[in-house]
Structure 1
Amino acid sequence: MIAHDLDQARAKLAENMKIDILNLTQEDENVKARHEVSRTFVSDTITVPTPEMFVYALKTSLGDDVYTEPSTLLLQEHMARLTGKEAALFLPSGTMSNQVGLRTHLTQPPYSIVCDHRAHIHKYEAGGCAFHSGAHVVAAVPRNGHHLTLDDVKSNVMISDDVHFAPTTVIALENTLNGTIIPQDEVIAISDYAHSQGMKMHLDGARIWHVAAETATPLAELCAPFDSVSLCFSKGLGAPVGSCLVGTKAFITQAKRFRKLFGGGMRQTGVLAGAAAYAVTNNFPLLPKVHALAKELEVGLRELGCEILSEAETCMVFFDPAPIGVEYDELILRAAALPDPIKLFGSRLVCHIQTSPAAVQDLLELVRTIADEKKAAGFVPKPVTNGTNGTTRPTYRDIYVRKPHLAKGEESTEASKA
């Protein structure tokens, strides 16, 4: 092929490569999306970056994180100081942060992990403990229905030379778990016991920010009982991407190797680190207001006669509207059909830093309206005893009933989601 023909072929190839993912109304659509987020109670992962976050993030450095990335290094150093650990590692997701952390602890099989039966690492990480680490998971059910205790842990760990069993190597806790807080004295008791038996402690602290904000406890104190902690920047704090794993220098050095092995070695992460840093600095102070909105939802739903499955200790409340004759599917459809729609999935309502107080009131008014319609049609509300004295604990059944509206022809399912 002569030079002229080659240039033409290249020009044609380059023309075919072009793509523009923006449209003429993109800014208007983004404004609409931010409003929709403010009326969505599905999760706190749906929060979106603010213009101020974008501006800050775009000022960050342009290194390569597989080698060295200055802004990301500064974020990691800050997270290590904040949590009282020696070192930290930025990862793309909370799932990867947990799985890399666990894999780094688990060095020679056979071994097992003890965790709560509702834990994210057990239920919502696609079997990662088995796939990545070949680990057996012992899913313990807390007798108090709220959090694992030292007695629960002792009843489920395996400390034996019996070749039939996989010895417990890691005890993994989650705080918050379904929005609930584990008492710190219980965490310390479990940690002291685990370390006395040569076991490691890992914390899925995706929403540990909420614990710190609600209890005014420093992160370093909350993280002290653990050998490793995973903290998520996109849950609660509103960053678009990223989690951080913290531990000793030796632990993080090995974890970085596993991050690369898992495909988590990223390049110009400065912009992501910038968004995370902005979120930690500016959005953490907003969490008490988030908790207040969740408590407002709980009080309102309780007053309407709904069953509260799990109280709003932080940003979540779990409820069942069946006692007032309302089904999840009906509520979801009616909420979506409002002039200013509200998005729900089922029993879990999550408030976040971009939740509109008006959306909370509109949701409560909708529940009240449907309940009144049921009464007018002859439904007799059922008395609710669970939680009326303010001592609600999550039930042993999976309290998250996810009931999205499905299109005609699709199968209806009940599922759970982290």
Structure 2
Amino acid sequence: MHSTLNFCARVLLTLARRHTALSVFPRNSAQIQYLRQMAPANISASCVPSPSACDFRSDTVTTPTPSMLRAMVSSSVGDDVYQEDTTTSSFEQQIAMLLGHEAGLFVSSGTMGNQLALRSLLMRPPHSVLCDYRAHIAVAEAGGASSLSQAMLQLVVPKNGIYATLEDIKDSITLSDDIHTSPTKVISLENPLGGSILPLMEIQKISSFARQHGVKLHLDGARLWNAVAAGAGTLEEYGRCFDTVSVCFSKGLGAPIGSILVGNEELIRYARWVRKSIGGGMRQVGLIVAAARAAYEDVFPTGLLESHDRHLHGGLEYGQYFLSTPPCSSLTWGRPAFWTPGW
């Protein structure tokens, strides 16, 4: 039993150093302390620099690195509501170009990025947003699509049990002008979703179909960095399939705060307006944008490539872990086999 715990402690500490998210474990400070106690003696204390290093509830639980803190100190301090902050403006433009879009908008969270995208794409109800039944916009954004955009969600259950295909979309979409229906105006995809990567080829097929029917596409790319690091496609290849893309810096990249929404100039100009209306305008935001840029420069793609380790995933899959999804990137959901439910 002790050797099993030692093995698990080693794996978890390795994951912590490699920016890999193993969600739902551990859940509280007692579990974190237990894991620290079980760490083998030859593992240096520097491997566990903070409680977040072995807190695996989510890849959002992180601690800023020294380079992020230094970047914050040296950032510009212009007023972003007036679009006068150079750190923010340049980073927005950089990310937009990487994703093949014209403009970007820094927002405080992935939820805000998704909701601004939907609000900017959906101009006149009745309208629906089609998405996977597990999507963040469906289960973790406080009903924002309905309250902010008056949109109904059409939930897709993938037949393959992993990701939505074009056939799933065709079976669920509403293209009719029948007045009894709420027509699908936006297809929102999330990639990766639950650790599973939606293949670029499948996205391209969905994109082509949507554009043939005048349906807009949004990508919740909060963890798109993980898919790209795994070799599934480039940022630009993914980005060009969508009208809007939201990418997050506070998850796998480890920044304290922030996401960027990208799209064409007209859409981002409107999204900036909506952001202000819901209290999302920030003044000297360069302080946190600088940390996000440092996270991007330090972790993507090198840090994520290091964590995308097949041998490590093999140890998880065939060792003492139950995984809820096949390991296909540096993002994995699972639980240790020795875990006691509710502990």
Same fold (TM over 0.5): yes
Alignment partner of 2:186: what SS? Answer: strand
Match of 2:109 in 1: 93
Describe the superposition over 1:35-62 as per-residue Cα deviations: whole angstroms up to 9, x where unpaired.
3222222211111111221112211111
Q: Give the Cα–Cα distance (whole angstroms) in 2 for the partners of residues 124 and 191 of structure 1.
A: 25
Secondary structure in 2 matching 1:74: helix
Q: Does 1:303 align with 2:311?
A: no
Q: Deviations over 1:274-317 (max 9, x none)?
A: 1111111111120012222xx55643344347543311211333
Q: Partner amino acid for 2:67? A: E
Residue pair 2:226, 2:331 contacting (<8 A) in 1 also = no
- 1:107-146 alignment to 2 at 5 Å? 107-146=123-162
- The one-letter amino acid of 1:40's match is D
Give the percent of matched residue pairs that are identical in Structure 1 and Structure 2: 43
Letter in 2 for 1:67: Y
1:289 matched to 2:306? The reply is: yes
Asked whether 1:315 is paired with 2:340, we answer: no
Q: What TM-score do you get using the length of structure 2 for normalisation?
A: 0.82
1:105 is matched with 121
Instruction: Tell me the alpha carbon deviations over residues 160-212 of structure 1, each in whole angstroms, 9 at most, x when there is no partner.
Output: 12111100000000011111111101000000000110000000000011111
Taking the aligned partners of 1:216 and 1:309, their CA distance within structure 2 comes to 20
- Cα distance in structure 2, aligned partners of 1:154 and 1:271: 44
Aligned residue for 1:189, secondary structure, equals helix
1:116–1:139 contact (8 Å) kept in structure 2: yes
CA distance in 2, matches of 1:33, 1:106: 45
Partner of 1:222: 238
User: Which protein has the larger Cα radius of gyration, Structure 1 or Structure 2?
Assistant: 1
* Distance of 2:308 and 2:86 partners within structure 1: 35
Could you tell me the TM-score, scaled by structure 1's length? 0.68
What SS does the corresponding residue of 2:324 show, helix, strand or coil?
strand
Paired residue for 1:39?
54
In 2, Cα distance between equivalents of 1:48 and 1:317: 20
Query: What is aligned with 1:49?
Result: 64
Opposite residue 305 of structure 2, the aligned amino acid is P
Deviations 1:239-298 (A, max 9, x none): 111100000000100000010011100000111111111111111120012222xx5564
Matched, 1:195 2:219: no
SS of the equivalent of 2:294 reads helix
1:99 to partner: Cα distance: 0.3
Are 1:114 and 1:137, in contact at CA under 8 Å, matched by a contact in 2? yes
Superposition map of 1:326-365 within 5 A: 326=338, 328-329=340-341
1:64 & 1:50 partners in 2: Cα distance? 25
TM-superposition CA deviations, 1:211-233 (whole Å, max 9, x none): 11111632111111000000001
1 CA distance for matches of 2:255 and 2:317? 32
Please tell me whether the aligned partners of residues 291 and 312 of structure 1 are also in contact (alpha carbons under 8 angstroms): no
2:252 to 236, 241, 260: 236
Tell me, yes or no, if structure 1 residue 278 matches structure 2 residue 294.
Answer: yes
Unaligned runs of 5+ in 1: 1-30, 330-402, 406-418
Q: Distance in 2 between matches of 1:162 and 1:328?
A: 52
Q: Aligned partners of 1:327, 1:74: CA distance in 2, in Å?
A: 46
Letter in 2 for 1:260: K
SS in 1 for 2:50: helix
Deviates more, 1:191-200 or 1:307-316: 307-316
> Could you tell me how far apart the structure 2 residues matched to 1:214 and 1:32 are?
24
The answer for the alignment partner of 1:258 in structure 2 is 274
CA distance in 2, matches of 1:317, 1:170: 28
Contact 1:298 1:311 in 2 (8 A): no
| Matched residue, 2:261 | 245
What SS does the aligned partner of 2:208 have?
helix
Local SS of the residue matching 2:63? coil
Aligned partners of 2:49, 2:283: CA distance in 1, in Å?
29
* Alignment partners' CA distance in 2, 1:216 and 1:182: 9
Give me the whole-angstrom Cα distance separating, in 2, the residues matched to 1:302 and 1:153: 31
CA contact (8 A) 2:63 2:256 kept: yes
In 2, the alpha carbon distance for the partners of 1:302 and 1:213 equals 20
Which shifted more, 235-244 or 296-305?
296-305
Correspondence for 1:413? none
Q: 1:209 and 1:176 mapped to 2: Cα distance?
A: 9
Root mean square deviation, CA, Å: 1.9
The change in CA–CA distance for 1:301 and 1:273 in structure 2 (over 3 A counts) is closer
The question of whether the paired residues in 2 share the 8 Å contact of 1:83 and 1:223 is answered with yes
- More RCO (CA 8 Å, sep 6+): 2
Moved more, 280-289 or 98-107: 280-289
| Aligned counterpart, 1:165 | 181
Q: Does 1:182 align with 2:198?
A: yes
